[in-house]
Amino acid sequence: MRFVQVIDCKTERFEDMDRLMDRWAEQTRGTRTATHSLVGKDRSDGSHYVEIVEFPSYQDAMANSGLPETERIFQEMVALCDGMPTITDLDVVRDEQLNRARARRFFHEIAVGGHLDVIDEVFAADYTDHDIAKTERVMVGSGRLRDDVVRWRAAFDFTFELDRQICEGDDVVTLWTWTGTHKGEFMGIAPTGRQCVMTGTTIFRFENGRIQEGWWHEDLMGLLRELGAHDGDAAPA
């Protein structure tokens, strides 16, 4: 079970505290067991700070606390604080990864489900799209994304299998497998009725709760081969 420590303190010397945390990270490189750490500042009290540190388990947290560097740094931290910091130990019993869920909405609700109105909920109006398979590799505006979805849905009946998702900061990386039946014109290729499989990776960057930027890497050449574009049966215009 994942484990979180919440360290609550007051200090007028945050810059010194920040340098101290950098020193602790450097001194424990390769030995510390913390997987993620963030520090928040109280908007109503500029001297009030809260640090949240995540560990794979309680046992890992205790091993981290037992490092000689951790104890030494903690004592220096206490000296910088206005009073003794408080530490709250928490077992993680629920973790809602909201960006991951929003990214999945594109694939399931918008692309496969055809609910185009959801685009305005999930994507920023000035969304920027990068796609190496397109002649115009950078497009701006959620309306361009809407047009893209309409074209793909007109050309194929398809599904997405989301093979793996990795979330880090504001980014969600999705490794996917697309399976589609060719029912309409696509890149100059008349409908073939063939079922095709294509793999790809999409990176979405979130800002203010919406997808602000996306990068697409898909095996379009493989898809065209499956449609017969290179065997004489069909050819793109």
Q: Are residues 10 and 40 in the same domain?
A: yes
Q: How far is CA 205 from CA 45, 123, 143, in A?
A: 31, 10, 18
pLDDT, residue 237, reads 34
Give the span between the Cα atoms of 71 and 64, in whole angstroms. 9
Q: Which of 91, 123, 150 is the last residue of a domain?
A: 91
Q: What is the pTM of this model?
A: 0.67
Residue 103, class by beta-carbon neighbours within 10 Å (0-12 exposed, 13-18 middle, 19+ buried)? buried
- pLDDT tens digit at each of 237 positions of the chain: 789 999 999 999 999 999 998 988 888 888 888 888 899 999 999 999 999 999 999 999 999 888 888 888 889 999 999 999 999 999 988 776 889 999 999 999 999 999 999 999 999 999 999 998 776 778 889 999 999 999 999 999 999 999 999 998 889 999 999 999 999 999 999 999 999 999 999 999 998 889 999 999 999 999 999 998 765 444 333
Q: Are residues 45 and 129 in the same domain?
A: no
Q: Are residues 78 and 104 in the same domain?
A: no
pLDDT, residue 94, reads 72
pLDDT, residue 132, reads 83
- Identify whether 236 is part of a domain: no
Nearest to 144 by CA among 171, 114, 124: 124
- Identify whether 235 is part of a domain: no
| Residue span of the structural domain in which 57 resides | 3-91
The CATH number given to whatever domain includes residue 168 is 3.10.450.50
- Identify whether 232 is part of a domain: no
pLDDT, residue 65, reads 87
The CATH number given to whatever domain includes residue 21 is 3.30.70.100
